[in-house]
Amino acid sequence: MSLLRRYNLMSQTNSTELIRSQQNVAQFSNGVAKKLYKLVVISGLVLYIMYNLWPGFHCCYSFSVLTHLRPTVVGNLESSYSSGTGTNSATSISHIVFGIASTSNSWRNKRWFIESWWRPNVTRGFVFLDTFPVDLIPWPASSPPFRISENTSRYKDYDKHEMTHAIRLARIIREIINEEDQNDEDVRWYVIADDDTVIFINNLVEVLSRYDYNKYFYVGMNSECHASNYFHSFEMAFGGAGYALSYPLARALAKNLDVCIRRYPSLYGSDHIVQSCVADLGVSLTQEKGFHQIDLHSDISGLLSAHPQSPLVSLHHLKVVDPIFPSMTRNQSLNHLMKAANADESRLLQQTICYHKQNNWSFSISWGYSAQVYEAIYPPSILRLPLQTFRPWMFAKPFYILNTRIPSTKDPCQIPHVFFFYSVETITDIIGRQHLIATTYTRRRPRFLPACSSTGNHSAAHINMIRVLSPVLEMHDGVGRRRECCEVEYESRSNTTKVQIRACVEDEIIP
């Protein structure tokens, strides 16, 4: 057999085997594909049934996979500015750092304002002084620790401010952050205040806990006096009332403060410099009505007897106005108010209104401060307006940014009998639990007016004391809470009247 023929036979044989192999592979592939197809269809049906019929199967897992696929920057947008360990624990006093603006000379006469609310080893912060307080050493433990402000002479070309120490005081936020830089892992808020600012700490904590401290918040209140806001800014938190800066805003402000000091060389004071810089960072004022600048003169009892429906956070200028309680010094008055605050700070100055309809009397209670009795029925919409017992800080009309009442001094129907806070006690139940808080209010002085004739001549002149019972219940219900209601228990032969505070009934209108 020739080589050519042998080669052709071998080629035919190999071709036949190759074709058979390809056919076998194709048959095997088709079989596998059919089995895989059946498996996919069956698995899909099983998953579909589980997804639709098994409760909770589809609610918990899908997004956990996607979370790992997010770019790192997305996951860090908020956490990059967050302080603390990232937990969602409730805000407490330990999360707040205070910066108190003062001078060595001023601190000597005003330290008792701060010491009335400062809690050694609990509250955090510093008093910033201009010079070393030689005559105040040893420094008392009842005061916050002090720091000497940095030299600001390098800013002299930018210091055209009318307020002395404006730049030094504006830089407190930067200096306090530098002080706390090694210990700021649990800081959520920085609060700046003056050396005559009285702060009600529990209420401050409650108010700040409403806001996300990881975001940019500038919390405070403007002045009661229209002229003060006009000459400074209606968008400014006045420093005497105190203001709060959330952690990320405080850090951003500190980094840009030198730029703002050079940008605003002629603003009046430090709080206006801070407000302008905060505005340049794109942040607006969040107003909280419990911060009080008290840009007023004379007797502020009318204002304190009709407090807004907000927790009392601060009071300022108590050294300028009359003592808030009659027959007491300013220092004694503040300590007396703190007795009520220590019993139930959340209720302090909260107004409750009720009526004794048989005698046509209206009662307005400012808890822990005053009680007023009118010999006529006035709705809450009237009684919630402060009696204008005070004078404006500056005489430029309109005087105030709030509505007030100016009653006729000769009309016995409009002038109330005024009683002031006298004492507080806790009443326990039969097993020793705190049940009620009783506060008493005594008459300030005789009214020297006849009875209101238009309502039946039912005189309240014989009442010498009002006893108010309130439940032991913190009022911190947040935004949207109604005022409480109350009932009057009066006996004509007694010179003491009892008022029982209670929750309002649903849809109840007063009176």
3-state secondary structure 55-71: CCCCCCCHHHHHHCCCC
Structure confidence at residue 83 (pLDDT): 45
Mean pLDDT on 430-451: 88
pLDDT score for 431:
67
Instruction: Give per-residue pLDDT as tens, 66-75.
Output: 233 233 333 3
Give the per-residue pLDDT at 476. 60
Res 407: pLDDT:
84
- 494-511 mean pLDDT: 90
Mean pLDDT within 23-41 = 50
Helix axes 247-263, 270-280, angle to 10 degrees: 110
Residue 120: asked if its preceding bond is cis (omega within 30°), the reply is: no
Flag whether pLDDT at 82 surpasses 60.
no
Q: Which amino acid is at 503?
A: A
Model pLDDT, residue 79: 37
In one-letter notation, the amino acid at residue 427 is: I
Phi, psi torsion values for 307, nearest 5 degrees:
-70, 145
Residue 11 has pLDDT above 50, yes or no: no
Tens digits of per-residue pLDDT, 188-234?
Answer: 999 999 999 999 999 999 999 999 999 999 999 999 999 999 999 99
> Is residue 12 over pLDDT 70?
no
pLDDT number for residue 69: 29
Q: For residue 84, what pLDDT is reported?
A: 42
pLDDT band at 58 (very low <50, low <70, confident <90, very high): very low
Question: Which runs of E-coded beta strand occur in 49-95?
Answer: none
Question: Who's near 295: CB < 8 A, 6+ residues apart?
Answer: 223, 224, 225, 228, 238, 317, 392, 393, 394
Given a cut of 80, whether residue 179 has pLDDT beyond it is: yes
pLDDT tens profile 324-375: 999 999 999 999 999 999 999 999 999 999 999 999 999 999 999 999 999 9
Q: Could you read off the pLDDT of 22-31 as tens digits, one per residue?
A: 455 445 445 5
92 has a pLDDT exceeding 70: yes
Give the pLDDT score at 118. Answer: 98
In this prediction, residues 33-55 reach a mean pLDDT of 50
Mean pLDDT of the chain: 85
Q: Report pLDDT for 393.
A: 84
* pLDDT score recorded for residue 38: 58
pLDDT digits (tens, 9 = 90+) for 301-321: 999 999 999 999 999 999 999
Where do we find the tokens 């007030």?
Answer: 404
Q: What was the pLDDT predicted at 428?
A: 81
Q: Is the pLDDT of residue 323 over 90?
A: yes
Can you say how many angstroms the Cα of residue 52 is from the centroid of all Cα atoms in its chain? Answer: 46
pTM of this structure: 0.81
Q: Is the pLDDT of residue 256 over 70?
A: yes
Tokens of residue 194, six digits: 């003056």
Predicted confidence band of residue 81 (pLDDT cuts 50, 70, 90): very low
Max distance between CA atoms of the chain, in angstroms, equals: 151
The predicted structure's pLDDT at residue 397:
79
